[in-house]
A = this chain, B = another copy of it.
Amino acid sequence: MTPETTALPVKDRFDLPPGMVYLDGNSLGPLPRAVPARLAEMVRDEWGAHLIKGWNVDDWMGQPARVGDRVGRLIGAPAGSVTMGDTLSVKVYQALSAALQMRPDRKVILTDSGNFPSDIYMAEGLIRHLGAGHALRIVAPEEVAQAMTDEVAVAMITQVDYRSGRMHDMGDVTAAAQAAGVVMLWDLAHSAGAVPVDLAGSGCEFAVGCTYKYLNGGPGAPAFIYVRPDLVDTIDPVLSGWLGHERPFDFDLSYTPAPGVERMRVGTPPVLQLTALDAALDVWDGVDMADLRRRSIALSELFIAQVEVRCPGLRLASPRDPAARGTQVSFASDNSYAMMQALIARDVVGDFRAPDLMRFGFTPLYLDEGDIHRAVDVLTDVIDNRLWDDPAYLQKSRVT
């Protein structure tokens, strides 16, 4: 691929601030152009005009399944296997609980130290309250496959490390789990919309993820959950809310789970957030995930090569092999926090992660080579001229 072809022809589907190089889609995706009009229309013509009838005539009730299928197509999940709602933390809790049910004779939840803390916190809360002798075991990321023993009920692994971008091989890890009788739960927070994912092909039992990063659903966009279709009807949902009931509008006094992944629904769906997400997913029309991945690697390889030449004081804190990374690249230094503030003051937006990382996300949805060169130019200027050490300069990083 020549550099000129690295950008996908969809950058104009986003409404980015002029002059901004946005390298933080791994934290919050930018605003897709289709969202404001679609959301305004929903508010005015559905909520405003149809009021309560919107649940039927605008099929708000079917939104979690309909949007779930659109997300599913980006992560290799068959139609009807994904539903939307709640937050990623709540979906982790549901999936973990279901996984523990499947292995009543095993007591360990396995995860790795590169997992996002909230997943670990949710596991802690679950096992502390279950009171059935469960334990959480946290190993180094490279030890996950070997740690799949017959004590382990479920492996809860985030595919792409939120700090370094280090990426697990989903097929290999799932195969190791299955060889040991371990239920596999993938967190795709930094994978969905970032790298090709083949959930069905991996054979994993569960996957969860969020939609406000690479799926650009906006702050607080709902989470998703995938359950392997052959298992879902055996699950007794711990969060057995009425919208996961087989017949919610019968208002029975006891719970009967709905068939399929609908049983993983809990309460009323967040219709405004789901509408924004639904419009945001239009960005993906015509985008091929393998093509996206090739372009993403080209952008991040260009960034790494340029930074290592022009900013030799920074240390690459991500895997050098692009096949072992998601879309993020992190560099470490003693002054990363201040450097990132100085970058942001110049509209090159990444983020800082403790203790010493500058984190940059690369998606060809709205980034091209020109953006990479601009980012490296500014980073070089910040370092060479010690702008990160200039309080007057940093003041500008505050939005006023």
Contacts and interface: CB of A to CB of B under 8 A. Distances in A.
Given A30-B48, A55-B219, A125 B239 contact: yes
A271 interface: yes
A239 B36 contact: no
Contacts of A128: 236, 238
Interface string A261-276: 0000011111111101
A253 B60 contact: no
B87 A266 contact: yes
Q: Give this chain's copy count.
A: 2
Interface string A238-267: 111111010001111111000000000011
Interface string A26-57: 01101100011001100110011111111101
Interface stretch (A129-137, A146-154, A369-377): A129-137
A94 to B, nearest CB: 10
Contacts of A78: none
A164 B86 CA distance: 30
Contacts of A90: 86, 90, 239, 241, 266-267
Interface stretch (A166-174, A306-314, A348-356): A348-356
Interface of A: 15, 17, 20, 22, 24, 27-28, 30-31, 35-36, 39-40, 43-44, 47-55, 57, 60, 85-90, 93, 97, 113, 116-118, 120-122, 124-126, 128-132, 138, 210, 212, 218-220, 222-223, 236-243, 245, 249-255, 266-274, 276, 344, 349, 351, 353-354, 398-399
